[in-house]
Amino acid sequence: MLFLSIDFGTSAVKVSIIDENGSIQCQAKHEYHYLLLPDEKVELSPDSLLSALFGAVKCLNPDLLHKVECLCYDTFSPSLVLMDNDGDLVYPNIITHLDRRCRAQSDFICNTVGKDTYLHISGIYPFAGGCSAMTLLWFQQKEKDLLCQVEKVGHLTTYLHKLFTGKWMIDLVNASMLGLYETTLQNAWSKELLSTFHFPEYWFSEICVPGKFLGFLLPSIADKLGVPSGIPVAIGTNDVASAQMGAGNSSAGQIMNTAGSSEMVSILTDKPVTNPHYYLRNAALPGLWQIYATTAGGFALDWFYLQFCHEMKRNDFYEKYLIDSIKNYGTTTTITFDPYLTGDRQSLQKKAGAWHGLSLASTREEMLAAMLKSIQKVLHTTLLEAKQFQTLNDTIKISGGMVNPAYLEMKKMEMPEFNFKQVDDCPLLGNIELIKYHGFQSISM
């Protein structure tokens, strides 16, 4: 059996044809670019997203595409979408997790619900960029007329599943990432929060378990993908939740570190313990949660390259300069860095990146090493918080474009109590593992 597995990551879409044994037959990637707008708005055009998808699929083996028997996918999130009855976007773009327009609405939730009450229900403080409830409040307060056209509110999985199959749904993980779900109980949409914010219940779709089949691929999309129409489509989920499955993590205490455009740590737990310093989110498997934290990763490196090293070729920067900086200064630098180039998604306060301890003797190599070390501190702090109540596996699975031997050595030095095991293509493989977990169950119409 062949699957078309699609991974909508933070900066690019990856597509693979994979068999039921997890063997990748062919693979392609296509980048997309965000719209950086005034007032901290960061959006993604659906045309850009779908153009990247269809462009990537055209690079796959057409003979294998014709033999695909199932489609599965994952996406970055939060990724707020406002849709009409046909599944078209009422607001023209996808609101990404890098968007920070809703800082005032975070304060509004703190003042109306209370940050600790909100934490107890949703699993997080109302962090700007951490979930979509605040962005939805922003629309309610700033563009109320637009909301009169809305039939459904969701994340990118909701939009794509409607596009692929004509079916409405939201997956278990993204439901918790909307910030209006009883995450700590893993129960249902919070009637308390919906009532307080005057959000109608019909906006929010049925919550579905990732990996189960729901509907069949529509002919119009099948034609653009080059696969047979009518094949079953599995319910998609968040990319990190899927990566856990692709890494072979399905039990409490197992850990995933994704080192890509953003750097993230996800710890599986069966104890829904909240904490102001991390996110508690649903995992892809019912009965498990994720303890989750994130910070800038590859985005920070791209920024550093463009601002400080643009005279060198990009490949030279990533393949030599970056590695040399870690080797030469990874253990010796006394410079520190505040890792908030994209803000702090674990804070209610607005934060920015900054170096400390610079002198006339400081070099850009040392500044780069300090920036990379600061990323590890964010991850390590979250691991130590989780360790207080959850027995943790001593091996962290790690995946992503930033991974190289020098970077792994830095991680081992900064987090000496853990080993690191590199794994590849985890979200793509995880989509299929979720289907297999449910035993290729019959398809729900």
Query: What's the confidence (pLDDT) of residue 190?
Result: 98
Coil, strand or helix at 422: strand
Report the candidate in 4, 19, 42 with the shortest Cα–Cα distance to residue 261. Answer: 42
Q: Is pLDDT at 445 greater than 70 in this prediction?
A: no
The residues, any chain, with a CB within 8 Å of residue 160's CB and separated by 6 or more, are 8, 73, 75, 236
- Weakest-pLDDT range from 346-355, 378-387, 391-400: 346-355
Query: What's the confidence (pLDDT) of residue 440?
Result: 72
Q: Name the band, by pLDDT with cuts 50, 70 and 90, for residue 24.
A: very high
Q: Name the band, by pLDDT with cuts 50, 70 and 90, for residue 347.
A: low
Distance separating alpha carbons of residues 429 and 17, to the nearest angstrom = 10
Query: What's the confidence (pLDDT) of residue 331?
Result: 83
Distance separating alpha carbons of residues 406 and 318, to the nearest angstrom = 12
DSSP string, 69-80: -EEEEEE-S--B
**Tokens standing for residue 65:** 């595409």
Mean pLDDT of 395-415: 89
406 or 215, which is more confident? Answer: 215
Mean pLDDT of 201-225: 97
**Tokens standing for residue 292:** 């989750």
Residue 202 burial (CB count, 10 A): 10
Look at the pTM and tell me if it is higher than 0.85: yes
245 or 331, which is more confident? Answer: 245
**Tokens standing for residue 298:** 């590859």
**289-296 vs 279-282, strand pairing mode:** antiparallel
Q: Could you read off the pLDDT of 268-309 as tens digits, one per residue? A: 999 999 999 999 999 999 999 999 998 888 888 999 999 999
**12-19 vs 2-8, strand pairing mode:** antiparallel
Share of the chain above pLDDT 70, in %: 98
Give the DSSP H or E segment for 106: helix 103-112
Query: What's the confidence (pLDDT) of residue 90?
Result: 97
Q: Is pLDDT at 166 greater than 70 in this prediction?
A: yes
Mean pLDDT of 122-137: 93
Query: What's the confidence (pLDDT) of residue 10?
Result: 84
Distance separating alpha carbons of residues 321 and 396, to the nearest angstrom = 26
CA torsion through residues 224, 227, 232, 234, sign: negative
Give the DSSP H or E segment for 134: helix 133-142
Cis peptide before 78 (omega within 30 of 0): yes
Query: What's the confidence (pLDDT) of residue 402?
Result: 83
Q: Is pLDDT at 444 greater than 60 in this prediction?
A: no
Q: Is pLDDT at 168 greater than 90 in this prediction?
A: yes
Q: Name the band, by pLDDT with cuts 50, 70 and 90, for residue 41.
A: very high
Place of tokens 């853990």: 418
Distance separating alpha carbons of residues 3 and 61, to the nearest angstrom = 13
Distance separating alpha carbons of residues 56 and 28, to the nearest angstrom = 6
Largest CA-CA distance found in the chain, in angstroms, rounded = 67
Query: What's the confidence (pLDDT) of residue 403?
Result: 86
Give the DSSP H or E segment for 14: strand 12-19
The residues, any chain, with a CB within 8 Å of residue 115's CB and separated by 6 or more, are 109, 125, 126, 276, 348
Residue ranges and CATH numbers for the domains of the chain are: 2-242+427-437 (3.30.420.40), 296-422 (3.30.420.40)
Distance separating alpha carbons of residues 405 and 413, to the nearest angstrom = 12
Q: Could you read off the pLDDT of 186-207 as tens digits, one per residue? A: 999 999 999 999 999 999 999 9
Q: Name the band, by pLDDT with cuts 50, 70 and 90, for residue 442.
A: low
Mean pLDDT of 256-267: 90
Q: Name the band, by pLDDT with cuts 50, 70 and 90, for residue 80.
A: very high
Q: Is pLDDT at 105 greater than 80 in this prediction?
A: yes
* pLDDT, averaged across the chain: 94
